[in-house]
């Protein structure tokens, strides 16, 4: 039986500026099991990234309960969230956020300095097919190559959960495919739990679970009985 690793219970999120309040999430409920690849899909502004940021400890719910890896993180203070992010979460964003004056292997090393139990930098760069560019600087890399380094940096610290926010949003079709194939292999070969946010419905067949968000609410949660390989996806 699969072990639950993420649970949202009746989660609400409001942002208040002065006297104006905006509700971004409204009574959100879902679960993700350990080892699943979950895709959160919806249009821009639906609340997808807010969900991801709450899972990642970069934001907190206004109300409701968020349980990750057995711990209720809903009421964590900033120091607890910092420790939680460093220990359990790997982030991959649309823009790669590499440090310009560090080379490829130094960028990956920079991401694991705070943690003892990590993968070897060269080994993770091999997994993302960047072991031939160890000494290259970000300015000399294509967008696809930079994103692969960003993925290596995210997984080097052996996170419990890999969170990907529109990881192919700034890439062309071929580079998008390569990046998605790497994410797929991390889930398949390492058993890493992956939560991927996208506006692209065509990516849904690669998931174990598809969570559709609309206007801050969960519209549907669908489990795919058969996953489709990234190589077979077209959009």
Region 89-97: what's the mean pLDDT? 89
pLDDT exceeds cutoff 90 at 26: yes
The CATH number fitting domain 4-232, selected from 3.30.70.580, 1.10.340.30, 3.40.50.720, 3.40.50.300? 3.40.50.300
Over residues 188-229, the pLDDT tens digits come to 999 999 999 999 999 999 999 999 999 999 999 999 999 999
pLDDT at 223: 97
Within 10 A of 10 (CB to CB), how many other CB atoms are there? 12
Task: Kindly indicate the confidence band of residue 113, based on its pLDDT and cuts at 50, 70 and 90.
Answer: low
3-class SS of residue 127: helix
| Exposed/middle/buried for residue 232 (C-beta within 10 Å: 0-12, 13-18, 19+) | exposed
Over residues 157-174, the pLDDT tens digits come to 889 999 999 998 888 898
Ordered by start, the domain boundaries in the chain are: 4-232
Region 67-90: what's the mean pLDDT? 94
Count Cα neighbours of 166 within 13 Å in the Cβ-side half-sphere.
14
């Amino acid at each position: 039986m699969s072990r639950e690793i993420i649970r949202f219970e009746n989660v609400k999120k409001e942002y208040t500026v002065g006297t104006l309040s905006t509700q971004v999430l409204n009574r959100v409920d879902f679960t993700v099991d350990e080892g699943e690849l979950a895709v959160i899909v919806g249009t821009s502004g639906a609340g997808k990234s807010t969900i991801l940021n709450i899972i990642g400890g970069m934001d907190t719910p206004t109300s409701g309960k968020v349980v990750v890896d057995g711990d209720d993180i809903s009421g964590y203070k900033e120091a607890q969230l910092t420790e939680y992010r460093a220990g359990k979460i790997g982030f991959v964003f649309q823009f790669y956020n590499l440090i310009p004056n560090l080379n490829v292997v130094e960028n990956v090393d920079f991401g694991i300095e705070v943690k003892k139990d990590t993968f070897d930098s060269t080994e993770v760069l091999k997994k993302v097919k960047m072991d031939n560019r160890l000494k290259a600087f970000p300015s000399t890399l294509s967008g696809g190559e930079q994103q692969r380094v960003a993925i290596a940096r995210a997984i080097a610290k052996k996170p419990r959960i890999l969170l990907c926010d529109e990881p192919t949003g700034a890439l062309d079709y071929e580079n998008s495919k390569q990046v998605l194939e790497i994410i797929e292999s991390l889930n398949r070969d390492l058993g890493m739990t992956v939560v991927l946010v996208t506006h692209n419905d065509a990516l849904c067949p690669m998931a174990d679970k598809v969570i559709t968000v609309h206007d801050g609410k969960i519209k549907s949660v669908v489990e795919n009985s058969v996953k489709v390989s990234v190589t077979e996806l077209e959009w």
